Amino acid sequence: MRCSGWPPTMPPSSPASPCRWMAASPHADAGAARAASVPPLAAREAAMAGPLDTIRVLDLSTVIAGPYAGRILSDLSAQVTKIEGPGGDIMRAAGPARSPGMGAAYLGCNAGKQTLHLDLKDPAQRAVLLEMVAEADVLLHNMRMAAALRLNLGPQELRALNPRLVYCIIVGYGQDGPYRDRPAYDDVIQAEAGWAELHARTGDAPRYAPTIAADKITALYAVAAINAALVARAATGVGATVEVPMFEIMASFLAVEHLAGLTFVPPQGTSGYERVLSPHPRPYRTADGFICVMPYSGRHWRTVFTAIGRDDWANDPDLMSDAARAAMVGTLYARLDACLPARSTADWLDLLRGLDIPCAPVNGMDALLEDAHLKAVGLFRQVEHPTEGAILTVRSPIRYG
């Protein structure tokens, strides 16, 4: 059995299921699997070769971090084949579904891929994978290294078979550290890397972000690392082993601003970036809902206060000093909070946008589907899935010209 010339033919005795598209690829012909309402620009994009259109990726990963990295590589036009074991990816059962095993979150992480079911403990089916590895550019997985080695799928074995292979493993913890054998999922990493504790700094209890943040951020790092390894390979002709550890990534990600006073030796204060940990910057109530208003500079604050008729606030000389303004941030936002309930969200947006003040409505996902800008750029697209019928998917937000 063959899909689009790759992966290779399965042995006749293999029970592996045929390859099939998880969702219509965003790189397919514009007329093949797109709703008629897709903007003409999107059709032109679809006809263009993408930056990774010659790259073949084997995605052996499960759940979110690895599959989302594979999804992004597919968005960048790589040919991604997802390899699943006999039981399938656990994410198949997550979220609403039209048919069993094809949950919404699974579709979201695996759009644009082909899938092939292989029992890697079966020698004949493992041989199929090795045949594919010999021709692949990238192999991606998030098994613990011990499990990969038990299957003889470690980096040494596979890179000996294909020296040009970029072997990327997403792990919970770096393999040089004492935590290397611990299991890790998004909530665990959010807690251990310091994300959950940040909420306690604002007077709340520690809690997780209401999105699978650690997994998806790790996926972005994985894509960057894979592409860097491919660039290096273009110069040297040799692949690489790339380790992408969730714990270290999230600690690094949060340290950018939250290392704060601990940046200096000896420390010049405590950890935590004060502005984002302040309880004051938040969506504020209007007459009919909520709004985000972000006056960032002294000019912004002066403009806002003048517009609402508070010249006494607008003429405060401390507004034009970054240090003085930071010291009175609670007072500034309290003034804003007191004024915003006087008008509707739409009225405030009209006024503030007219003054070039950063502001936004507080949208939910339903509102994003109707957002004028996202409609104009064609971010959400209806495609015809071969087994699930009409579904919404998201094109790559990145464009190449």
**Looking at the structure, do residues 130 and 244 belong to the same domain, yes or no?**
yes
The CATH number of residue 179's host domain is 3.40.50.10540
Domain count, the chain: 2
**Looking at the structure, do residues 201 and 343 belong to the same domain, yes or no?**
no
Decide: 4 and 20 in contact? Cβ < 8 Å. Answer: no
Whether residue 34 has pLDDT greater than 80: no
**Looking at the structure, do residues 189 and 332 belong to the same domain, yes or no?**
no
Bridge partner residues of 392 (DSSP): 382
Encoded amino acid at 4, one letter:
S
| Tens digit of each residue's pLDDT (9 = 90 or more) over 333-386 | 999 999 999 999 999 999 999 999 999 999 999 999 999 999 999 999 999 999
Q: Which domain holds residue 222?
A: 40-253+380-394
pLDDT, position 48: 55
Whole-model pTM: value is: 0.86
| Tens digit of each residue's pLDDT (9 = 90 or more) over 145-184 | 999 999 999 999 999 999 999 999 999 999 999 999 999 9
**Looking at the structure, do residues 248 and 335 belong to the same domain, yes or no?**
no
pLDDT, position 85: 95
Give a yes or no: residue 212 inside a domain: yes
**Looking at the structure, do residues 51 and 169 belong to the same domain, yes or no?**
yes
Give a yes or no: residue 12 inside a domain: no
The Cα 90–Cα 21 span in angstroms is 18
**Looking at the structure, do residues 328 and 182 belong to the same domain, yes or no?**
no
Which phi and psi angles does 10 have, rounded to 5°?
-80, 150
Give a yes or no: residue 193 inside a domain: yes
The CATH number of residue 339's host domain is 3.30.1540.10
Taking residues 115-119, report their average pLDDT: 96
Give a yes or no: residue 145 inside a domain: yes
**Looking at the structure, do residues 205 and 339 belong to the same domain, yes or no?**
no
Give a yes or no: residue 387 inside a domain: yes
**Looking at the structure, do residues 334 and 199 belong to the same domain, yes or no?**
no
**Looking at the structure, do residues 289 and 316 belong to the same domain, yes or no?**
yes
The Cα 148–Cα 26 span in angstroms is 31
Bridge partner residues of 384 (DSSP): 390
In order, the DSSP letters of 261-328 are: GGGSSS-SS-SS-HHHHSSSSS-EE-SSSEEEE---SHHHHHHHHHHTT-HHHHT-GGGG-HHHHHHT
Taking residues 92-99, report their average pLDDT: 94
Longest dimension (CA), the chain: 83
Count the neighbouring beta carbons within 10 Å of the beta carbon of residue 322. Answer: 9
pLDDT, position 281: 85
**Looking at the structure, do residues 121 and 226 belong to the same domain, yes or no?**
yes
| Tens digit of each residue's pLDDT (9 = 90 or more) over 336-349 | 999 999 999 999 99
Which phi and psi angles does 117 have, rounded to 5°?
-95, 120
pLDDT, position 45: 55
